Structure 1
């Protein structure tokens, strides 16, 4: 039985991800990144990275910024020989300091993001997003009657007729809000009235997903937060629920770190 191998991981300012393994002489071994299976995708993608000795008793593998990884979760494995069974790698030290302020730089299209992280089972994985454009949230303020959000567009700019759209999940319900915009065409803010989401017009929607439509004829861009060092926000960034019209409304991050609103009954 193979012993557990713990890999370190670091990200530099250019977006390179470097993996370090305790292998003084890697030989023909390589590091394998394998996408987790997704519904409707029969053959998950894989990326093979050569391992090179570093001279300090370790071997290093480098994931370059290009080509980008497909969106999803990628698990890390060591393959010791070309036909050997992949051995999943445990997560060691993760140096993600350069990702903390990742939203400060404007990203071109497509917006490609990779965040190494320690999975719940302790193994090493990489979370990837790849989208034509992205709207990164900043501040989310929850008040008695409204929630106010500030955000910034990456990969595109705001134009004439821009709106923020809340769409009821699984149905045709829709609400639109006019955003306030910064002078550079990227920064914007919007306020959502809780009463608009609780079904006063007969609509009964539990989840509302938030997009920004940058211009009248533009494709919608999902609003969320992915440009830092947090791979999973849903359980760690929790906002209060506010009673409105006999129901509770709260903003939250989905499993994909996208911004949505949830409407529930008290108790």
Structure 2
């Protein structure tokens, strides 16, 4: 599924909803650049690996306690590489990236130069689950990893905002649309409101949603999750997200037009976790155009 966008990608930054990052080591001897391939595999490359031969890369889940170790390998006297497979089922969340030299305590790695071009519009066709691993720079300048693991998954593609409605095209992984399919807009956690059904059409894994704005505006200010029920009420309940590219945090990159009606504004957006959502807010009278 190919999509296009005129948005520009800013320099890498810490995701808006990331957990507090660990403070950097007093002395961090190594940095690692990350190189992705079309399968989603991520190679951590240490260009100046003095003292690290025979060591391992350590991924440590932040707040979860899970650890994954990958051996560093080298060809001749060149850089050391540790490869995380594209389908590695890392728990969704944030991971610290460490280097373990033989007989030494792990230390955090600094970020190097990344090449993530192979991830743009990646399509793991036929996959039952989608695993995504994206490097970023933490608040304190350490190399970190943001991961997603969705099974099944509904990948949002082109989002088009028109007067009165928003249409979303996308593709499912691990499931397919049936005649009973529909979309649902659901109030965000801890917010009141009645769920709203919306039209979902398509064939096989590909879908098209039509999300009317009027029902959203009628319930007043709140946030809405966008979900897909590809097999109707008895099938999976899937949160729409845009994960299959090289952007850790789409929230600050993509801005969509808004619908304004009777003092309320409705606008689609991507959350800090790259999930598609809607926000309905009151229009500030001071910013409204003069009548």
Which residue in the other structure is 1:140 paired with? 159
What value does the CA root-mean-square deviation take over the aligned residues? 2.0
Q: What SS does structure 1 have at the residue aligned with 2:58?
A: strand
What TM-score do the two structures reach when normalised by structure 1? Answer: 0.88
Aligned to 1:64: 85
Structure 1 residue 250, shift from structure 2 partner: 0.5
CA displacement 1:94-113 (0-9 Å, x = unmatched): 1111101203x424112222
SS at match of 1:178: strand
1:127 aligned residue: 146
Quote how far apart the aligned CAs of 1:197 are.
0.5
Is it true that 1:215 corresponds to 2:212 in the alignment?
A: no
Q: Which residue of 1 aligns with 2:258?
A: 241
Give the equivalent residue in structure 2 for 1:174: 195
Contact 1:247/1:265, CA 8 A, preserved across alignment: yes
Q: 1:36 aligns with which of 59, 62, 77?
A: 62
Structure 1 stretches of 4+ moved >6 Å: none
Residue 126 (structure 1) shift: 2.0
The offset of 1:158, in angstroms, is 0.7
How far apart, in 2, do the equivalents of 1:188 and 1:154 lie?
Answer: 11
Equivalent runs, 1:75-114 vs 2, <5 Å: 75-82=96-103, 84=105, 86-103=106-123, 105-114=124-133
Closer/same/farther in 2, CA of residues 24 and 253 from structure 1, 3 Å limit = same
Aligned-residue offset at 1:74: 1.4
1:131-210 equivalences under 5 Å are 131-169=150-188, 170=190, 171=192, 173-181=194-202, 183=203, 185-198=204-217, 200=218, 203-210=219-226
Residue ranges of structure 2 left out of the alignment (5+ in a row): 1-25, 285-291
Could you give the per-residue CA deviations for residues 135-183 of structure 1, whole angstroms, max 9, x where no partner exists? Answer: 11111111232211111111110113100000012335100012121x3
Task: After TM superposition, give the deviation of residue 213 of structure 1 in Å.
Answer: 0.2
Q: Which residue of 2 aligns with 1:40?
A: none
Counterpart pick for 2:66 among 42, 45, 68? 45
